[in-house]
Copies of this chain bind each other. A is one copy, B any other.
C-alpha cells in the first residue's frame, strides 16, 4: 500500500509552492496537529504528496471560516468511523465463517 504518495521527501519550500500556503501557515498547521511531517537528521521537515493534498483541503476549509480545532476534530471523526467500519466487517465475517484462521 505504501506508495510514492506517502513517502516523506518534500521540503517545506516546495510544499509552499505546491499549495500556495506560506511556510508560516504550514508550520502552524503542524503545531495544531493537522499534519505530521517527518524530520531529517538535521531537523528539516519532510512532507509527502499526501500531506500536500491534505494541506489543500485544510486551506479550503480555512477559507470557509473553519477553525483549526474544528478541522482536527473532523479528521478524528473520519478516522473513528473508519475504525468502526473495519471492526464491524470483521465481526460479520467471524459470524459467517467462525473458526477461520485461529
A5 close to B (CB within 8 Å): yes
Q: Mark A1-32, 1 if CB is under 8 A from B, else 0.
A: 00011010111011000100000000000000
- Residues on B with C-beta less than 8 A from A9 are 9-10, 14, 18
Count of identical protomers in the assembly: 2
For the complex, give the distance between the alpha carbons of A49 and B2 in Å. Answer: 14
Contact A14 B46 (CB under 8 A): yes
Q: How far is the CA of A32 from the CA of B4 in the complex (A)?
A: 27
Q: How far is the CA of A9 from the CA of B8 in the complex (A)?
A: 11
Q: A11-B11, A13-B40, A18-B9 are in contact. Are A4 and B46 (CB under 8 A)?
A: no
| Residues in A lying within 8 Å of B, measured CB to CB | 4-5, 7, 9-11, 13-14, 18, 40, 46, 49
